[in-house]
A and B are shown apart, each in its own frame.
Chain A
């Protein structure tokens, strides 16, 4: 519903105004709901280490397939509920941050941060194991290490760009691959460590939503809400930074600090997304919803709103599917779900969707074809009979046009002309008298008259006011007249009134023989009314 509200022109501002009040409220409500639902946990469940896929499978066996699906979809199951809420809020935060990342043209930075975090996790694990044996997998420690490594990756890119002449893409590729390589080496070393509790660290690479504990989810939830809050708080400033950083700097905004804030948000989303989606794919959670949102809206607040929504929806759908099919990695499924949302937006997006554009193009083509056909009919009749008026020449013999003559009027292939004629016949503009002989209907006569008249009005205007040579005017008039609307035609008439009074038909400035004026009072709407 919101999407359609946004489609209204000028609706953006009002909606944005409401959104500004709405979002902080929404975050507060989410916060309360999630806090209370997580707080309900009985103690033995808090202690429960893994609410793993195995449990789900057991339930599936007990309940049969359909009840199981229903349980999952309606979030009856406590674990599913917790995981879904956590991942969903994460998806929303990622979608919102992604809006700015995309508009700042820093999409790949998220990927670098993700890959660069890997050695951070490994180092954090080793350090914690060293000082507190057995606690190596505490989430906060690992995430802190990952965040530091992520920032280190960004720092390396900045250094490379600053001190060398390498371009950004090369810097990104180098940092991303070197950090990831380092991470893989460290992971191998960890596997060989005598502590032996390293199992599960691999989850950070590809994500494993189902293996999250309630405490993990709590951490993710609060961090994601904090990210959402910061984004809303600094929305205006981040928007300015993304649109025109030089102007922002000239106004005294600390652009470096704002960029750092944005990078901090990217790092935060990456790290809190590491567990459920995995470091490799978490960039998708940021970029895909934002890119998809652009197909629906043309304004910043609505784009942020749609992106947040799509991010949350993608995460929700992904968690649902992975809860039903536990053998697929949750991260991959979430990204695929977002990908599907992107594909839908790409095709059907109300502002920039491909289907709309194709449809618009097709409509224009049909319109142009009809226009050209009608004008060709008029010009043929005018030149073969000396004059043609829809009111006077109302017998069918005076309205007949042979196919081969129409073909000569323009450079159109016979097959295309046939298609155009067939369409015009269906629309009641033409009748087929004999094979390859057509006659204009009453409506067709008027339409033909109007098409020729618009064309000539426009040509005359071009010659007199745009100083285009008469020999060239036909072509440029051809392209523009198809967008002439009744209002514009009236303006043209006023402009040229002295030369062509009383809605008369001007003579063609470049082809055919000179014609007397034709008295008629056609309506411009008769052409416009034929719009599909």
Chain B
């Protein structure tokens, strides 16, 4: 919603060739601030179609903010965002969103299947019940993440990895064309990690795009095609082989990548910000 508003604020940039319809996600000149402190500066980014993109950066570098602001969940100070050349409000069905697992209360009285069905609520529409047809779709989506046998399970009885897969299934059931995933690999077991990777590759095979906030630098090269290095601004973006270099990482994480320096940097940043 707010992305629409902000797009009105800069009308001369909001039109034309900057947002081709083939581009799954195109961010132009976006700045986001919390309490007047900028979190993201002048983000300009066009996501390549049909590729797996890792969003990488240190804690507090604005990875989650980037996703949430793109989806209009956070107000942007300036800039605009287009999905396939149109504002998000007009492309909701083509965009799948997987929030961080910690963002909800897993003690909620709801079964895995019901959570997945929530991805269909928009399609079902106001005040209409979730009929069998939709429940079958949800079950199929659970099957794709290997969770069909847990469909009736209350979500607090699932392991962390299983919960993450339920979230993935909820986005999958929408059958979107571009997926934004916020740290799907955090705190999951090896089986879930394999399942998610297999799923991401399957999505890529069918021509879909996925932007994934990723923490583990070790696996970036193995799992992803593209990388977006972020630290309040975009340090570098492009194919992993070109962009995922020591020099770029050093810039992203500040200084050399030794643990000590990282910790020191973080403490300095914290101290500076507070």
B-contacting residues of A (Cβ < 8 Å)? 9-10, 12-13, 20, 103, 105, 233-234, 236-237, 239-240, 242-244, 246-247, 249-253, 294, 297-300, 302-303
Which of B117-125, B206-214, B223-231 is found at the contact surface with chain A?
B117-125
Please, which residues of chain B bring their CB within 8 A of the CB of A244?
99, 103-104, 118
Q: How far is the CA of A103 from the CA of B127 in the complex (A)?
A: 20
Please, which residues of chain B bring their CB within 8 A of the CB of A9?
152
> A250, B108: Cβ atoms under 8 Å?
no
Contact with A along B61-80 (1 / 0, CB 8 A): 00000001001110000000
Please pick, from A105, A240, A294, the residue contacting B121 in the complex, using a CB distance under 8 A. Answer: A240
Please pick, from B92, B119, B154, the residue contacting A252 in the complex, using a CB distance under 8 A. Answer: B92
Q: How far is the CA of A427 from the CA of B201 in the complex (A)?
A: 57
Q: How far is the CA of A279 from the CA of B152 in the complex (A)?
A: 40
- What are 22 A-B pairs with beta-carbon distances under 8 A? A9-B152, A10-B152, A13-B113, A20-B129, A103-B109, A237-B121, A237-B126, A240-B118, A243-B110, A244-B103, A246-B99, A250-B71, A250-B92, A250-B97, A250-B99, A251-B92, A251-B97, A251-B122, A252-B122, A253-B121, A299-B109, A300-B109
In the complex, B114 has a CB within 8 A of chain A: yes
Q: How far is the CA of A247 from the CA of B118 in the complex (A)?
A: 9
> B110, A246: Cβ atoms under 8 Å?
no
A326 CB → nearest B CB, Å: 39
Please, which residues of chain B bring their CB within 8 A of the CB of A243?
104-105, 108, 110, 115, 118
Give the residue name and chain of the A residue nearest to B156 (CB). A298
> A253, B122: Cβ atoms under 8 Å?
yes
Q: How far is the CA of A13 from the CA of B152 in the complex (A)?
A: 8
Q: How far is the CA of A12 from the CA of B121 in the complex (A)?
A: 19
> B109, A246: Cβ atoms under 8 Å?
no
Q: How far is the CA of A509 from the CA of B170 in the complex (A)?
A: 46
> B126, A12: Cβ atoms under 8 Å?
no
Please, which residues of chain A bring their CB within 8 A of the CB of B154?
298-299
Please, which residues of chain B bring their CB within 8 A of the CB of A12?
111, 152
Give the residue name and chain of the A residue nearest to B97 (CB). A250
Give the residue name and chain of the A residue nearest to B89 (CB). A252
Q: How far is the CA of A13 from the CA of B128 in the complex (A)?
A: 16
Given contacts A236-B127, A236-B130, A303-B109, contact A251 B121 (CB under 8 A): yes
Give the residue name and chain of the A residue nearest to B153 (CB). A9
> B110, A299: Cβ atoms under 8 Å?
yes
Q: How far is the CA of A237 from the CA of B129 in the complex (A)?
A: 10
Q: How far is the CA of A237 from the CA of B124 in the complex (A)?
A: 11
> B110, A300: Cβ atoms under 8 Å?
yes
Please, which residues of chain A bring their CB within 8 A of the CB of B92?
250-252
Give the residue name and chain of the B residue nearest to A247 (CB). B99
Please, which residues of chain B bring their CB within 8 A of the CB of A299?
109-111, 114, 154
Please, which residues of chain A bring their CB within 8 A of the CB of B113?
13
Q: How far is the CA of A358 from the CA of B61 in the complex (A)?
A: 47
Q: How far is the CA of A103 from the CA of B109 in the complex (A)?
A: 9
Within 219-270 of B, Cβ neighbours of A (below 8 Å) are at none
Q: How far is the CA of A249 from the CA of B115 in the complex (A)?
A: 15
Give the residue name and chain of the A residue nearest to B71 (CB). A250
> A236, B129: Cβ atoms under 8 Å?
yes
A230 CB → nearest B CB, Å: 10
Please, which residues of chain A bring their CB within 8 A of the CB of B119?
251
Q: How far is the CA of A246 from the CA of B115 in the complex (A)?
A: 14
Contact with A along B90-107 (1 / 0, CB 8 A): 001000010100011100
> A247, B152: Cβ atoms under 8 Å?
no
> B127, A246: Cβ atoms under 8 Å?
no
Please, which residues of chain A bring their CB within 8 A of the CB of B111?
12-13, 298-299
Please, which residues of chain B bring their CB within 8 A of the CB of A252?
89, 92, 122
Please, which residues of chain A bring their CB within 8 A of the CB of B68?
246
Please, which residues of chain B bring their CB within 8 A of the CB of A253?
121-122
B51 CB → nearest A CB, Å: 22
Within 113-160 of B, Cβ neighbours of A (below 8 Å) are at 113-115, 118-119, 121-122, 124, 126-130, 135, 152, 154
Given contacts A12-B152, A247-B97, contact A233 B122 (CB under 8 A): no
10 more contacts with CB within 8 A, not counting A13-B111, A240-B118, are A236-B124, A236-B128, A242-B108, A246-B73, A246-B103, A247-B99, A249-B73, A250-B99, A253-B121, A297-B109
Q: How far is the CA of A9 from the CA of B113 in the complex (A)?
A: 13
B99 CB → nearest A CB, Å: 6
Q: How far is the CA of A84 from the CA of B151 in the complex (A)?
A: 41
Please, which residues of chain A bring their CB within 8 A of the CB of B152?
9-10, 12-13
Please, which residues of chain A bring their CB within 8 A of the CB of B89?
252
Q: How far is the CA of A256 from the CA of B104 in the complex (A)?
A: 18
> B73, A250: Cβ atoms under 8 Å?
yes
Q: How far is the CA of A308 from the CA of B128 in the complex (A)?
A: 21
The residue among A13, A105, A250 with the most chain B CB atoms within 10 A of its own CB is A250
> B104, A300: Cβ atoms under 8 Å?
no
A395 CB → nearest B CB, Å: 49
Please, which residues of chain A bring their CB within 8 A of the CB of B128?
236
Please, which residues of chain B bring their CB within 8 A of the CB of A249?
72-73
The residue among B89, B104, B170 with the most chain A CB atoms within 10 A of its own CB is B104
A188 CB → nearest B CB, Å: 43
B205 CB → nearest A CB, Å: 26
Please, which residues of chain B bring their CB within 8 A of the CB of A297?
109
Give the residue name and chain of the B residue nearest to A236 (CB). B121
Q: How far is the CA of A475 from the CA of B47 in the complex (A)?
A: 51
